[in-house]
Amino acid sequence: MKYSIEDIKKRVDEIYDSVVSFRRDIHENPELSEHEVRTSAKIAEKLTALGINYQSNIAGHGISALIEGKNKEYGVGIRADMDALPICENNGLTYSSKNPGIMHACGHDIHTAILLGTAEILSEIQDELPGCVRLLFEPSEETIGGAKQMIDAGCLNNPKIKSVLGLHVETTVPVGKVEFIPGPMNAASCEFYVTVTGKSCHGAHPNDGVDSLVAACDMVGTIQTIITRRVDPSDPALVTIGQFNSGTKNNIIAGEAKFSGIIRTLNLANRELIKTQIKQICQGISASYGASCEVEFHDSYPSLENDYDLYKIMTDAANEALGHENIVIKNKPSMGADDFSYFCHGTRGFYYNIGTFNPQIDPEGHPIHSDKFNPDEECIKVGILTQVAGVLKILEEESKEW
């Protein structure tokens, strides 16, 4: 390769200011999921300036770009999400959001800027790359999950993408470090909605009706026994019921009750088990009260499990780029969900965190989705460096198969 790690570090330092400038521009002009019009246009403008071919308007406002290497039949993918959140920014930055009620509070502006910086360096050594690099600028991560739609649109084909990298900011990890989680990293999820139908009547004569509220309350309590009695306690799973609505007045027996929640599991088989159990519990309890019920399930993202071979490759790459003292290995997965998980099914995926915490910039280390979220932009250097180093190692490894 033309560049050593030191050469790459030098280039990262040289382009850093321009990458930060890009990040601040889209941070000032955030756009919600499915509305990333300006953001997409700015990305396209930058790719054009770099001479990188791309396709736009994928899965909405997504962009898929390609850096062609020596072998045009295979490649490595890198994903960055680019949508913002419906949050009013409140951190007093000179480049705070200009769009009221919208904020890049999850770091997607940083992810996007890092991918463009990575693209710039890789495009400079394009002729020496063993294979291709697919750049995936994903829309709508916070809502409908743009990853699956980009995959369905064929973004992992022509050339064949066998491995995909992604990263996320992490406020609990000091800036300058990365956090790797081998194996399971994020949970699969499924939203569910239950409607219990009884018969309303006067509260003084409950025998004339069927109390849907009492039946629904019984369901809420019993559903929790699925976790404590039906799922292996060594296999993490959660059922959260976050909404419950019933009744119209304090002296009327409720004719209808509705509640909804979400299932989270690291094991996809457990997700199906819990869905079956919820349906059986709700139908059984409603029948015992003389009521009826409907249960709807909306599967969300699958579980995110990092490929172990990619974990080893990325650990080696990060060790060379950052030093082993700057690699944090965490063996505790999160029960949160991320649609990068779609890249881990059908392809090899590796998702990792880059530290953003700097007590001099944000002493409290406000978490993502906070209106005071303020990551140290030095994390951008770590992101670009590890992505470039990782892609080079993965391409070198995969070239042996072609």
Q: Active-site residue among 289, 301, 342, 352?
A: 301
Question: What is the C-alpha separation between 124 and 368, in angstroms, rounded?
Answer: 33
Told to judge if 54 belongs to the known catalytic residues of this protein, a careful annotator would answer no
Task: From 229, 235, 264, select the one nearest 335 (Cα to Cα).
Answer: 264
Residue 337: half-sphere exposure toward Cβ, Cα within 13 Å: 27
Q: Annotated catalytic, 170? A: no
Q: How far apart are CA 53 and CA 15, in angstroms?
A: 20
For the annotated catalytic residues, the residue numbers are 301, 377
